[in-house]
Structures are given as C-alpha cells and as structure tokens.
Amino acid sequence: MTTDIARTSTQRDEDGASGLEDAARRSADDAGSSSEVAGKPTIVTSPTHAFDWRRRYANALRITDFVTILVVVFGAQIWWLGLHASIPGQIGILPSSYTLFSVLLTLVWYVSLSFHDTRTDRVIGVGATEYKRVFDASFKLFGAVAIIAFLAQISIARGYLLLAFPIGVLALFAERWVWRRWLGRRRRAGAYSARVVLVGSERSVLHLARELERAPAAGYTVVGACLPTGRVSDTVRGSNVPVLGNVNAIERALAVSGADTVVITSTDEIGADRVKKISWTLEAGRQHLVLAPSITDIAGPRIHMRPASGVPLMHVETPRFSSGQRFVKRTMDLLGATSLVILLSPVMLLLALIVKFTSSGPIIYRQPRVGRHGRTFDMLKFRSMVVDADKQLESLLDLQDMGNTVQFKMRNDPRVTPVGRIMRKYSLDELPQLLNVVGGSMSLVGPRPPIQREVDQYDDHVHRRFLVKPGITGLWQVSGRSSLSWDDSVRLDLSYVENWSVMGDIIILFKTFRAALLPGDTVA
C-alpha cells in the first residue's frame, strides 16, 4: 500500500486510523508479529512478505497435472499400440509417429487445463466447478482432435483415444481429489486460506463470519472487521472477530492485519462510490474485493449476473424441477440401485442370515416414513434393534446425547443389538433401501426420510424438502451426520432440494462411499 494512500486514509478517519495503529503497536509489543484479540490470534503486523499460497498451490497442480496426463497418454499408447507405432497415411506437418503425437497431445491437454482456469483459487477446494472445468477442457480437446482427424482424414486409432480420454479424466479427478483432501486439512489448520477483512454492518458481518467459520474448507479466514462504529480493538458482538476500525479505515486495516481480501457484507453504510474506491486502492493480483449478497445456500447454476446500464444485477432463478430433470434422476436411480442390488446380493444374503440367527424377530424392519409430496411409505432396513424398540422410545427421550431437538439420536442406544451396532456403524442396515429406490419410493440421493413425529414439528418452510423423493444418502449425511443441529440439517436438505444437479449427486455418492469405509458416528 503506498504512502499517499495511507496518508489519505489517515486524513479521512484520523481517530480510526490512529486507534488501529495503537492496536498494532500494542500487538507488536505483546506478541511480536501477532496480537491476541478476545483470546484469538488474528492481527499480523508484518504482511510485507506474505506467503503466496495461491501461486504455490497452482504450481503444485501444474506439476501433478502434467505427470498425470503424461502417464495416462503414454500408458494408453503403450497398452493399445506399443511405443514405436506409426500413424498411417500422409498427414502433412503433423507428427507421423504415435510417440510424437502423444507428446503433442500431452502438451495441448496440459495447456487446455490452463486456458480453462482449472487452477485458480476461485474454484479449488470446494464445489463441483473445478471438476467441471477439468472435464470441459478434456472433452473439448478430444472433440477437436476427432474433428481434425476426420477433416484431414488422419487414421488415428480410436481405441487409443477411447482409452486416454476417460482414464485421463478420471485420473485428473482423482489427482484433484487428493489435493483437495490435503488442502482441506491445511485450511482447517488455518493455512492456505484468504485472510479476510469483513466490511459492513455489525449484523451482516456477524452472519457472514459465522457462515465462513462453519466452512473452513472454503478457504476464507476472517482476521478482522471494519464497522460503521469503528470500535478499535473491540470485537464484533457474539464473535471473536476484532474490529480494526470504521469503514473509512479499510486500507490501513489491510496493512495492519496482513489481510489480502476485502469482503463487503452490506453497502448501506458504505455506498457504491466508496466500494469502487476501495477496489482502486487494492494491489492488483495480491489483494481481492468480494461482494457478499445477503442470501445463502444458493448454488452457482441458479445465479446469473446480467448488467443493466452499468449496474450488475444478480438474478436468482426460481428452483425448477422439470420432467427432464426427473427423468434423468430416475434413470440414475434405477441403473445405480439395480446394479448395486446385483453386486451386493451376496452381502445382503449373508447379513439376512446373520440377523435371523443372532436375535429373535423379523429380518427386515419396516418403518413408515414420509416421502415426496407428503406421502407415507414403508422404508426397509435390516433389523438392528430389538423387536419392541419403538415402544421403548418414549422412555429414552430424556437420555438422548446426540442428534438435535427434532431427531432422536443416542450414542449407546440400549435397543440396538450387538450385530446391529456393527451394521449401523458401516451403514449396512440401510442396504435394503436399494429396493425402495428400485420401487420408486426413494432415491439414491435426497433429503433424509422423516418419521411422522418429526414432520409434525416442522415449520412451514421445511415442507419444501418434500418436493423431491427422500434419499438413502444426502447432503446432510456427508456434512456432519449426527453432529448437526436441527437448523443445519434443514438448511442442507433445503439447499439440496433447491440446487439439485447430476454432478452434485455424484459427489454426494462418492462422499457416502468414503464415509462408509471410514465411519464416524452412526445414525438412525
């Protein structure tokens, strides 16, 4: 930040800036390079040589992307054609051997990933955008190769391309997934994240601070806030976020805190002109400006930016559930559930025999659940409790130590049989629900199917979860399971209903498979 900008900031808000300097001075005296506000170290006083995690992470991706593509392309060539195969026919300036062609394909594929911004910090770590861009870059490349080969009448082996494309995409997905796991661990430890100063009203700052704290994998670490009141060295009420000054001391707040991102949480106290001036003072390429709308849990495909007379208007499309979407989802359910029933039938038969011979009662437990449009259906599970478990529920309500105010959960439920405890740990008791999916009462992915007692306690807006079929797994199951509060469970279910996508279902199924192999808390 230049001296002139700092001097201008001081003149605009002498009290706020001087107070911030005092806070920084006390910080340096007390802790050297960091200050502890409300018990939480947040202010860094020497940001000049800030660690550029964005560039380092992107460089790591470049290396592993190149190695992945190189191995896949040459692996496909060697497997299908051998190392020294030649491309038949006259092809002019293009390479005449498959080895040279593989080198060219590797380089172009690598560059294509760069052109599609697959390594930018705006898409890495969370969401499906990163995977979508990787797929788009790969699909367009191989589509172009096919078109060029057809027009130029080049006889490139189809099997070679048909091996390289899908295996390459899956390998890139796997590579990015491994990096995401690593990045998530680093971000939960407070590293490899944007250092954020929130600017706006105290209420909007508190709301966004809580949302970002709830999702550390998103990569935003709040280090301070600028409020209209500007209570320097105080904290935002209800949080540990230190107040670094008022809304006119943002440049100085960035310099003192070492933040690299300004997030505007509300503009009523700032004004459009001030927001533009803030963007002008940020260092290009190192500091970033983000405008946070007051709405949450809205997915990208429903948001469209449309300029009107220089004003960026954000359109939020109404959730739609077209017949085409329902057909695609039902097709996925039928193919997936039928395949899993066939594949897992030996396991299901073995579990049925174990349940039969280890405790008295039926093998399959049928429980009425509320499904799409509020219709009741019998959800199937392998019986994991004693026969009269439902009658014992009332006596255990006061003993629950998990779940929330609506959903009953108990860590050591005495009604669960020894075999049932093992099945529930690995979600094996839920395998018969695949038959519910085949029958059409459930989906592979969807909101949790509630019992009528829970539905009776719903607020009106919660009934939107009945717009789709309930699922064997869902967004809330892979986002915390029994540790979630009721409000968080509802928020995740409604977010899934309103933002459904095929890629979203695939990601949830993948996370479910991982959670089944590495189980945590069990759920009912």
pLDDT, tens digit (0-9, with 9 covering 90-100), for 407-429: 656 666 778 888 988 898 888 99
Q: Which of 70-84, 428-442, 510-524 shows the lowest per-residue confidence on average (mean pLDDT)?
A: 510-524
Higher pLDDT, 237 or 433: 433
**pLDDT, averaged across the chain:** 79
* Least confident window among 30-34, 155-159, 186-190: 30-34
The residue-averaged pLDDT of 21-31 equals 39
How are beta strands 364-370 and 376-382 bridged, if at all?
Answer: antiparallel
Render pLDDT for 354-367 as a digit per residue (tens, 0 to 9): 999 998 889 999 99
* CA distance to 149, 384, 425, per residue, from 430 (Å): 49, 10, 11
User: What pLDDT score was predicted for residue 197?
Assistant: 92
- The CA distance from 127 to 180, in Å, is 11
Q: Which CATH number fits domain 3-49+192-316: 3.10.110, 3.90.550, 3.40.50, 3.90.930?
A: 3.40.50
Query: Which range is least confidently modeled, 28-32, 133-137, 388-392?
Result: 28-32
pLDDT at position 459 over 90: no
Tokens 């479910």 -> residue: 512
Pick from 382, 387, 368, 389: which is nearest to 429 by CA? Answer: 382
pLDDT at 84 (0 to 100): 75
d(CA 258, CA 150): 55
> What pLDDT, on the 0 to 100 scale, is given for residue 47?
41
Q: What is the DSSP string of 229-268?
A: S--TT-B-TTS-PBEEE-TT-HHHHHHHHT--EEEE---T
CB hemisphere CA count around 315 (13 angstroms): 9
**Which has the closest alpha carbon to 27: 40, 14, 15?**
40
Q: How many helices (H) and strands (E) does the chain have?
A: 16, 15
Q: Where are the beta strands (DSSP E) in 20-127?
A: 34-37, 40-44
pLDDT of residue 446: 93
DSSP code, position 474: -
Mean pLDDT of 231-253: 81
Q: What mean pLDDT is predicted for residues 15-20?
A: 44
* pLDDT the model gives residue 43: 38
Instruction: Look at residue 9 in the predicted model and tell me its pLDDT.
Output: 39
Structure tokens at 169: 């995409």
Position 10 confidence tier, pLDDT thresholds 50, 70, 90 = very low
Domain boundaries, the chain: 3-49+192-316, 53-187, 323-517
Q: Which residue has the higher pLDDT, 464 or 232?
A: 464
505 CB neighbour count, 10 Å cutoff? 24
Q: Give me the mean pLDDT over the 159-183 stretch.
A: 94
Q: What is the pLDDT of residue 463?
A: 84
pLDDT in tens, 117-169: 999 888 888 878 899 999 999 999 999 999 988 887 778 888 899 999 999 99
Planar angle of CA 310, 308, 251, nearest 5 degrees: 35
If one counts every other C-beta atom within 10 angstroms of the C-beta of residue 253, the result is 29
Q: Is the pLDDT of residue 190 over 90?
A: no
Taking residue 267's Cβ as centre, other Cβ atoms within 10 Å add up to 15
The reported pLDDT for the residue numbered 105 is 94
Query: 3-class SS at 380?
Result: strand
Give the whole-number percent of the chain exceeding pLDDT 90: 32
Q: How distant is the alpha carbon of residue 253 from its chain centre? A: 30
| Cα–Cα distance, 39 to 23 (Å, whole number) | 15
> What distance in Å separates the CA atoms of residue 375 and residue 371, rounded to the nearest whole number?
5
pLDDT tops 80 at residue 18: no
Q: Report the distance separating Cα 217 and Cα 124, nearest Å.
A: 10
Write out the two tokens for 144. Answer: 């172009």
217: which DSSP letter? G
* pLDDT given at position 165: 95
The pLDDT assigned to 520 comes to 52
Average pLDDT over residues 236-260: 85
- Read out DSSP for 117-162? TTTSTTTSSSSSHHHHHHHHHHHHHHHHHHHHHHHTT----HHHHH
pLDDT tens, residue by residue, 72-131: 999 999 998 887 777 765 555 556 688 889 999 999 999 999 999 999 888 888 878 899
**Other C-beta atoms within 10 Å of 196: how many?**
26
On the question of pLDDT at 272 being above 90, the answer is: no
Residue among 508, 519, 507 nearest 176 (CA): 507
What pLDDT is attached to residue 71? 96
Q: Quick one: pLDDT at residue 453?
A: 84
Which residues is 365 bridged to in the sheet? 381
Residue 369, φ and ψ in degrees, nearest 5: -130, 160
CA distance 407 to 392: 16
Q: How far apart are CA 244 and CA 257, in angstroms?
A: 8
Kindly report which listed range (10-24, 164-178, 361-375) carries the lowest average pLDDT score.
10-24
